[in-house]
Amino acid sequence: MDRIRIRGGNELSGVIPISGAKNATLPLMIASLLTDDTLTLENVPHLADVELLTRILGNHGVDMSVAGKRFGQDAGIGRTIHFNARNIVDTTAPYELVSKMRASFWVIGPLLARMHEAKVSLPGGCAIGTRPVDIFIEGLRELGATIEIESGYAVASAKGGLVGNRFRLPKVSVGATHVLMMAATLAKGETVLENVAREPEVVDLAVCLTAMGAKIEGAGTSTLRIEGVRALSGARHRVLPDRIETGTYAMAVAMTGGDVTLTGTRADLLPTAVETLARSGAAVMPVEDGIRVYRNGGGIAAVDVTTDPFPGFPTDLQAQFMALMTRADGISHVTETIFENRFMHVQELARLGANIQLSGQVARIEGVTRLKGAPVMATDLRASVSLVIAGLSAEGDTVVNRVYHLDRGFERLEEKLSRCGAEIERISG
């Protein structure tokens, strides 16, 4: 099993290209099920979750082809993939595939909308919380679907097709917003979805669906209005930059000091995180084709944060920010409001010398003058990269085990950091 070894103490300096967003890519790929024409996605990152979803879509009969390298193109950045779901041969998403990635449950919406049936395994729990799919099921039922839970599967049908309706999400859910928006594009009549997620990835999906012929209003607000159409066509769409990767590398620079330009991204994708980083002592400024982040000489200030749906502080940056606060001057607090079990990185940060106390969903972090390298264990995707950030500033060697979590959401992390002066390497086996 691969590990990553980091020798801390180096400032970061240089340029890091930001990849396409994992959290946008997955629903965009699933949207290919809505049409029998070809959907072409540009800027698709090389990630384990993307590869797994290609297997899941292939099981439904989706044909995929990857465009070859072009002159002057970096082979590691931004693939172009063509998806064609002309012949959906299977409307079942089996447990052995869905159990490996929760987002694969989202195929239930497009399959119901286009094929009027779906049998999708329930995804079960995961390391950072249960994240139930009851909102998905309740919303699809409001659109006319009949859904029964049988032997661990959601067995759904919509004879004659889905029908538009008004539905208010009981809590903001990015996944449920994706699924219900996709399903509503082919429903008869108008659908109004209230209290929906406003994340940039939701807007990106709406932009792509609109290019395919969907009629969607309100993307980026708390209310979506979708007028169903008879069929969607193909389209070509470029995946937006990964705001979580952007924030992660920005925090790495704030942690180590230095000066790095993050290219191919935008500050407006993570406004609260940018403002929080600035309060912690890092300079963050927009530049042509990206963001410049630097911290030269000054210390790290303690800042309190509370995770919230967009435009609030992203839960997917909580672990990384906590790692930064372990070296802050003073006491900070991190409050997690999205997931009930997203502090599993705390005990691993403590192995590096961090001083963190937990009380329910609040972490109290008292900054220390130094961290010391040690073997640590990744527990989930975002927790694993927080250990990398901590290791970049720790004295001596830090070895991060179980880095397959990292490969789910960070493209060529070691290469990007090493190009900017980090001593980091992957150890295979």
Tokens standing for residue 99: 């159990």
- Cα distances (angstroms) measured from residue 353 to each of 149, 340, 387: 47, 25, 12
Within a 10 A sphere around the Cβ of 298, how many other Cβ atoms?
12
Q: Considering 77, 88, 126, 368, which one is annotated as catalytic?
A: 126
Tokens standing for residue 297: 């000489």
**Residue 238 counted as an annotated binding residue:** no
**Residue 22 counted as an annotated binding residue:** yes
- Cα distances (angstroms) measured from residue 142 to each of 109, 110, 158: 13, 15, 11
**Residue 128 counted as an annotated binding residue:** no
**Residue 23 counted as an annotated binding residue:** yes
126 is catalytic: yes
**Residue 215 counted as an annotated binding residue:** no
Short-list 231, 225, 178, 226, CA closest to 200: 178
Say if CB 113 and CB 162 are below 8 A apart: yes
Please state, in angstroms and rounded to a whole number, the distance separating the CA atoms of residues 241 and 162: 33
**Residue 159 counted as an annotated binding residue:** no
In the sheet that 166-168 helps form, which strands lie side by side, from edge to edge?
166-168, 190-194, 223-227, 215-217
**Residue 171 counted as an annotated binding residue:** yes
Binding-site residue set: 22-23, 102, 171-174, 316, 338
Binding-site residue set for UDP-N-acetyl-alpha-D-glucosamine: 102, 171-174, 316, 338
Active-site positions read: 126
Binding-site residue set for phosphoenolpyruvate: 22-23
